Structure 1
């Protein structure tokens, strides 16, 4: 709600010409914004904000009534400052956080395999020296810095809005004394900055899977071009609203069978192999292969299967050679408890489908509900 209100205000300011532009999108004009990411963590402060807003609405009603009723006008107006004084406002540092002109920016291309591949190349050239190949920042250069680089597989990356990350990539970071702790990469194009962010998301998901065996934070299905027999190519994202099964091709594998509960897409790495696996719908892209390998946290993707829910979140992973699906393969779990079914599914894949549908992802990143 907070983020949506602020986005609406920004669009209004841009429409009437009171907001400039930054990196091709309307720029947030103030150094602070209301926090949508801190309040879900500190529920006490969230309650105080709700009560404070209630007092504020009551004060507004009192002003309106004072304009309508003359006799009690003085009493009504006298309650306004009293309500504002006694309102249980939350701590300012919880509600107000630093903002940047790009804080409410969104990637114009979305999360895609080609963007992840571009970001991987840029990261290796510009970022790996300090942040390390795995993003954890355990490098000799990092050890020599005054401030240790953040762990890009940790929660910090996931809590910040993508627009804030773009600003830091393009303009660098400073400590409280104003000393530069990360250089600005201003020569990069905006699409390069978004590509770096996409790569860091994919890499962080894979690192989480390697370290803990689950995707701690939800990761989206990377977009790619799909070719289906007898039809025009279409984007993978165009199946939003349907469940998706991605099958990474293996040498000599049997033709991929369809399942009426989901759309099945075969992923091939893009090179021409004899006797290669076949399916009705295919992604043939080295970039997509690399992107899914990053997210799956493996160098041996062949034979892996991944399931995405109707909202485009990757939820389950089946390892190569596994005998079948089970609920243990659900690697992105919601906090919502699934309702018990009176007629349990007959197979493991059916049980996963029921869990995915019953436990939708509600992911808060930088205050934005995804």
Structure 2
């Protein structure tokens, strides 16, 4: 799940509603026969301008919110002018992440062609002229000159010079920005692994290792489901390929929830592979939800999400009072959650604990190690619920880099010196990932 600007996502939703308000004003101008002709004209022209502006603006705003990093305004202008943002359906008015309405999307890795950026100047001039003609038509009301100006605005709009999208954008599908509709938690990830082994491993093999020899006789070589796949393609496109791609072996056998759970499991496994390779997570990933039991000030907390708003340290312990790792010593800046084996004795000094089955395995995927190798490790979770840093019990390098998932960064020196927890927390505060946003209202 990418880091998202929440206010921009809500703004895009508001613009979709505003588009229909504009359509309503146009209809009111056409049907309000008892109103003076001048008022009807101005109402209709204003509604048409509002509908057209919203149709261009909402795809650009939504794409900017869903794309990591800063997207140049020229790219957003080309995207909005070429998108099919007219008449969004009821689902798009109730969904923060609707079906994407363009065959293209912004992609920071796409080099921007200078000639295409210069061509956007003509697009900008054309849109400004069309807007000016529409405004003048509104001013002169329903006189013949008004109709001429409105017709000129329509011609300028219809023949707006849009640069070749391939020079600025990456191909997209209707599912490019689709977000999971299932909880990213321990039980869901465990079900994802079960379904992957049941339906997918025969062709695709172990995640990250590639297809098995049986795939050699297939007409199409199965995709390697490793970390690179999630670094280069939005998870929504992967969902659309699994669920709707023609010829996919299990397209009709898996429910939407099962597809998302499989993808979440693969994302977790890919995150662990990346952590072992780069000593850092390069993609934003929320801490998997789990049931917890707490004492003291946090006695009301029943799940990890109840601690949202606090910086959480998840420490993996063997159980018993002798298993307190050095990195899990109490710290007033943190809320500590201990991962204990099921049925383990709960130490009296533990602030919060989780003994939910599957937690060790799930967090082992995120760390790229087996559950047996996870004991003594620790994870840092920021106030918004994102995984930020990892410290292994066997690694003397300290915490992994906590800002590598915030955007392009040099990951060749990813570790913070041992014991410098303050540096890690300071970096987390200075470079937030963003807020976790639910898909539906």
TM-score range, shorter chain: 0.7 to 0.9
| Structure (1 or 2) with the greater helix fraction | 2
Q: Are the counterparts in 2 of residues 119 and 198 from structure 1 also a CA contact under 8 Å? A: yes
Identify the residue that residue 351 of structure 1 maps to in structure 2.
Answer: 423
Deviation track 1:259-309 (CA, whole Å, cap 9, x = no partner) reads: 122221111132x34686951101112222211000000011110011122
Provide the secondary structure at the position in 2 that maps to 1:259. coil
Deviation track 1:104-127 (CA, whole Å, cap 9, x = no partner) reads: 543333311111010011111111
Structure 2: distance between partners of 1:138 and 1:61? 58
For residue 237 of structure 1, report the CA deviation from its aligned partner. 2.0
Deviation track 1:176-231 (CA, whole Å, cap 9, x = no partner) reads: xxxx2x31342323321221111011011011123333223222211111210262
Q: Does 1:91 align with 2:91?
A: no
Q: Are the counterparts in 2 of residues 48 and 89 from structure 1 also a CA contact under 8 Å? A: no
Deviation track 1:64-90 (CA, whole Å, cap 9, x = no partner) reads: 213314697657865764576574534
Deviation track 1:216-251 (CA, whole Å, cap 9, x = no partner) reads: 322221111121026244221232232211100135
Residue ranges of structure 1 left out of the alignment (5+ in a row): 175-179, 338-344
Structure 2: distance between partners of 1:232 and 1:78? 64
Evaluate the alpha carbon distance shift between residue 54 and residue 7 of structure 1 in structure 2; reply closer, same or farther with a 3 A threshold. farther
Identify the residue that residue 246 of structure 1 maps to in structure 2.
Answer: 314
Root mean square deviation, CA, Å: 4.4
Identify the residue that residue 267 of structure 2 maps to in structure 1.
Answer: 201
Provide the secondary structure at the position in 2 that maps to 1:286. coil
Q: Does 1:257 align with 2:344?
A: no
Identify the residue that residue 338 of structure 2 maps to in structure 1.
Answer: 266
Structure 2: distance between partners of 1:301 and 1:48? 53
Segment drifting more, 63-72 vs 256-265 = 63-72
Deviation track 1:42-61 (CA, whole Å, cap 9, x = no partner) reads: 44489579753564254123
Identify the residue that residue 351 of structure 2 maps to in structure 1.
Answer: 280
Q: Are the counterparts in 2 of residues 48 and 88 from structure 1 also a CA contact under 8 Å? A: no
Provide the secondary structure at the position in 2 that maps to 1:237. helix
Structure 1: distance between partners of 2:380 and 2:290? 15
How is 1:7-86 mapped onto 2 (pairs within 5 angstroms)? 19=89, 32-33=101-102, 35-38=104-107, 41-44=110-113, 47=117, 51=121, 52=123, 55-69=126-140, 78=152, 81=155, 85=159
Task: Find the partner of 1:144 among 214, 217, 220.
Answer: 217
Identify the residue that residue 170 of structure 1 maps to in structure 2.
Answer: 243
Q: Does 1:114 align with 2:198?
A: no
Identify the residue that residue 341 of structure 1 maps to in structure 2.
Answer: none
| Structure (1 or 2) with the greater strand fraction | 1
Structure 2: distance between partners of 1:235 and 1:244? 12
TM-score by length of 1: 0.75
Evaluate the alpha carbon distance shift between residue 77 and residue 137 of structure 1 in structure 2; reply closer, same or farther with a 3 A threshold. same
Identify the residue that residue 135 of structure 1 maps to in structure 2.
Answer: 208
Q: Are the counterparts in 2 of residues 250 and 277 from structure 1 also a CA contact under 8 Å? A: no
Identify the residue that residue 296 of structure 1 maps to in structure 2.
Answer: 367
Identify the residue that residue 393 of structure 2 maps to in structure 1.
Answer: 320
Structure 1: distance between partners of 2:161 and 2:419? 55
Structure 2: distance between partners of 1:292 and 1:115? 13
Task: Find the partner of 2:380 among 294, 304, 307.
Answer: 307
Structure 2: distance between partners of 1:259 and 1:214? 23
Which structure is larger by alpha-carbon Rg, 1 or 2? Answer: 2
Identify the residue that residue 42 of structure 2 maps to in structure 1.
Answer: none
Evaluate the alpha carbon distance shift between residue 281 and residue 167 of structure 1 in structure 2; reply closer, same or farther with a 3 A threshold. same
